[in-house]
Amino acid sequence: MKAKKHVFKAEVNKILDLMIHSLYSHKEIFLRELISNASDAIDKARYEALTDQSLAEGGEEWKIELIADKEAGTLTVRDNGIGMTRDEAVKALGTIAHSGTKEFMKLLESREVKDNPELIGQFGVGFYSAFMVADQVSVITRKAGAPADQAVLWVSDAADGAYTLEDTEKASKGTDVVLTLKEDARQYLEEWELRKIVKQYSDFIEYPVVMAVTRSAPDPEDKEKTIEETKEETLNSRKAIWLKDKSAVTAEEYKEFYKHISHDFTDPARTIHYRAEGTTEFSALLYIPAKRPFDIFYQDYKVGPALYVRRVQIMDHCEAMLPSYLRFVKGVVESSDLPLNVSREILQDNRTVTVIKKSITKKVLDTLAEMKRDDAEAYGKFYEQFGRILKEGIHHDFERRETIADLLLFESTKTEAGKKTTLAEYLERMQPEQKEIYYITGGDRASAESSPYLEVFKEKRIEVLIMTDDFDDIIITGLGAYKEKEFQSAIKGDLDLGEGNKEEQKKEFGDLLELMQAELKGLVAEVRISGRLKDSAVCLVAGEHDLDPKMVKMFQAMGQEVPKGERVLEINPNHELIARMQQLFSADRASAQLKEYTGLLYDQALLLEGDKPRDPVAFARALSKLMAEGVSAG
């Protein structure tokens, strides 16, 4: 078949344009990415060969080969892995199937990306990094098990936003990626440079990364002369460090292995390496990152450690090994108790996997607890990056929610701005007569602290936790209590902090409350005396078991229907305006002003919770009228 031209998808074109114009300062990572792809391809072939020996093609050694041709100016990365069909080549090399593509583009275009080369690998577009150093990239690939004449040649210089695809022949299975290097990238043809890059980025690849090296050697027939000998040398150490004893692994080796598996350039926050023995034996090398991957909140984010069974990689991300709220953890788990042909479906209900998951979950949570206890500053940095994710465990892991609650951090009305407190520390500072843990949700600390809902708390010096994540109310409602102290929202339910005699006030203002409730029929379920207001006249509160307004808005923005809650308008009986309304009511129950004031108070309550009045124009007119009357009366 003749070469056929194809156009790249728009998002691929954008990435290629950025690569061609050399945004990255760490251009050498192109080789890390191509070697990593080659290793993945061999993993797949090796795994499928367990059930189909023909894919091993004569028992050849699995390996990745680097071929530097200085005359042609080309560098080839060759593997004998699974290879690709024509359709697979189009899908893998011409499109991007990732939910965070738009956000990734923004990051690529940002100035900070120069110092964050891990973004390429983390997003899974490492192949395109080849265009940072190459004028043209050719891919010759043959699917394992396919005949030699069913290979595919993919070629692109990326400049015109297109690539060509044609049939070709290839003697062996696998893939050759051939880079025609740019003039300013010819150093990547030098042996010393390739050795350095492989050592730095790919030393822990399980398969040998080999290269034909020519050396001068003594002539066996004439020792005074030398001859040129070419031998294949392995450039990487191939250490399975997770199987080694902890004492035999240096801190630097741990860091480099983390960078290898995570595509992250920063050092991990913590390393967890242990071997479990007993009825279920396994080795685990896990890392808690210092920096949050930008795509961790996307649905297709890859969760779980790599799973090995007797040195064979079964899958690169085993979701069944870790709960979703620990999805930031990277690493490797190896077990000899699992079968080599284990599938993702079998893993879901496998007893061995359940035991391993329980063990490593406990180990990670214990490590975080130690970190919080022994290095508060480091834990604070970790929490800034991953606290939102860790909180999900309260909702998803009922058995461990108390343990997870111990790890949570919050700002509060008693902490300095930017500082956080634990729930245990909050309990230590509680007022002697205080029975509940109070909290308020809001967009940020400033708006939460200025909220009228906190007026009586400030008056009585009662500490209130400030929660700014959009799903905090659901999390805390799910937690329910901590150390037998129940949580109480400052913006929900009927609070009574002993502010005045509510029973007497209900009698005094009862008829006025009924009139206001009738006027606001369909808008509020009740109008009642407030136990939380000190300076403001009114506020709107949700029912005890309703979603708070922030959650309602979030769900509505997502297009989801939200059950209508029982909204309550609370009035401050000590406020001058309410006293004035009571006087009007006593003088004339049918006063038009009372109805007008009631509507204005409701709109004011909407404003105080961050919403807008029902009719902003009518609200402004009524307010102007009131001001004019006030000026006239003065």
Domain endpoint, select from 311, 342, 374: 374
CA-CA distance, 535 to 521, in Å (whole number)? 26
Give the Cβ contact number of residue 232 at 10 Å. 11
146 assigned to some structural domain: yes
| β-pair partners for 6 | 163
445 assigned to some structural domain: no
Task: Sort 559 into a burial class: Cβ within 10 Å, 0-12 / 13-18 / 19+.
Answer: exposed
- Residue 371: per-residue pLDDT: 97
Q: Which residue has the higher pLDDT, 34 or 590?
A: 34
The answer to whether 360 and 395 have CB atoms below 8 angstroms apart is no
Percentage with pLDDT > 90 across the chain = 45
Q: Which segment, 263-272, 343-352, 357-366, 437-446, is predicted with the most confidence on average?
A: 357-366
What six digits make up the tokens of 181? Answer: 């290097």
62 assigned to some structural domain: yes
Same domain, 343 and 224: no
The answer to whether residue 22 scores a pLDDT higher than 70 is no
- Residue 154: per-residue pLDDT: 93
- Residue 79: per-residue pLDDT: 96
The answer to whether residue 630 scores a pLDDT higher than 70 is no
Q: Which domain covers residue 359, as residue numbers? A: 241-374
419 assigned to some structural domain: no
CATH of the domain at 519: 1.20.120.790
Q: What length is written for the chain?
A: 634
Same domain, 204 and 219: yes
Q: What is the pLDDT of residues 88-131, one digit of tens each?
A: 998 888 776 555 556 666 666 664 555 555 556 555 567 888 88
- Residue 413: per-residue pLDDT: 95
3-state secondary structure of 139: strand
- Residue 298: per-residue pLDDT: 79
CATH of the domain at 348: 3.30.230.80
- Residue 115: per-residue pLDDT: 53
- Residue 479: per-residue pLDDT: 92
- 288: amino acid identity, one letter: I
CA-CA distance, 538 to 572, in Å (whole number)? 6
447 assigned to some structural domain: no
Of 485, 495, 472, the closest CA to residue 541 belongs to 495
Same domain, 162 and 286: no
Q: How confident is the model at residue 622 (pLDDT cuts 50, 70, 90)?
A: confident
Q: What is the pLDDT of residues 228-257, one digit of tens each?
A: 888 999 999 888 899 999 999 999 999 989
Q: What is the DSSP letter of 181?
A: E
- Residue 216: per-residue pLDDT: 78
CA-CA distance, 503 to 479, in Å (whole number)? 32
CA-CA distance, 355 to 406, in Å (whole number)? 24
Backbone φ and ψ of 204, nearest 5°: -95, 5
Mean pLDDT of the chain: 86
Q: What is the pLDDT of residues 590-599, one digit of tens each?
A: 888 888 889 9
- 182: amino acid identity, one letter: K
The alpha carbons of the chain give a radius of gyration, in whole angstroms, of: 33
586 assigned to some structural domain: yes
Determine the longest span between alpha carbons in the chain, in angstroms: 126
Of 269, 273, 283, 379, the closest CA to residue 328 belongs to 269
CA-CA distance, 364 to 348, in Å (whole number)? 21
The answer to whether 31 and 198 have CB atoms below 8 angstroms apart is yes
CA-CA distance, 289 to 259, in Å (whole number)? 10
CA distances from residue 565 to 495, 507, 542, 546, 561 in whole angstroms, order as listed: 18, 27, 7, 6, 12
Same domain, 276 and 189: no
Count of domains forming the chain: 3
Backbone φ and ψ of 131, nearest 5°: -75, -5
Same domain, 55 and 199: yes
Same domain, 206 and 304: no
CA distances from residue 177 to 30, 63, 70, 83, 476 in whole angstroms, order as listed: 12, 14, 16, 11, 52
Q: Which residue has the higher pLDDT, 337 or 12?
A: 337
Same domain, 210 and 271: no
The answer to whether residue 259 scores a pLDDT higher than 80 is yes
Same domain, 220 and 245: no
Q: How confident is the model at residue 310 (pLDDT cuts 50, 70, 90)?
A: confident
* Beta strand 222-234 pairing with 270-276: unpaired
Of 402, 400, 379, 382, the closest CA to residue 328 belongs to 382
Domain endpoint, select from 374, 404, 422: 374
Same domain, 337 and 211: no
Domain endpoint, select from 347, 374, 401: 374
609 assigned to some structural domain: yes
CA-CA distance, 612 to 603, in Å (whole number)? 7
Q: What is the pLDDT of residues 524-573, one digit of tens each?
A: 989 999 888 888 999 998 877 776 666 666 666 666 666 666 789 999 99
Same domain, 282 and 366: yes
The answer to whether 632 and 626 have CB atoms below 8 angstroms apart is no
CATH of the domain at 134: 3.30.565.10
Tell how far CA 543 is from the center of its chain.
32
The answer to whether residue 443 scores a pLDDT higher than 90 is no
Which residues lie closer than 8 Å to 375 by C-beta, 6 or more apart? Answer: none
Same domain, 269 and 215: no
Same domain, 68 and 182: yes
Between 282-291, 354-363, 575-584, the lowest mean confidence (pLDDT) is in 575-584
486 assigned to some structural domain: no
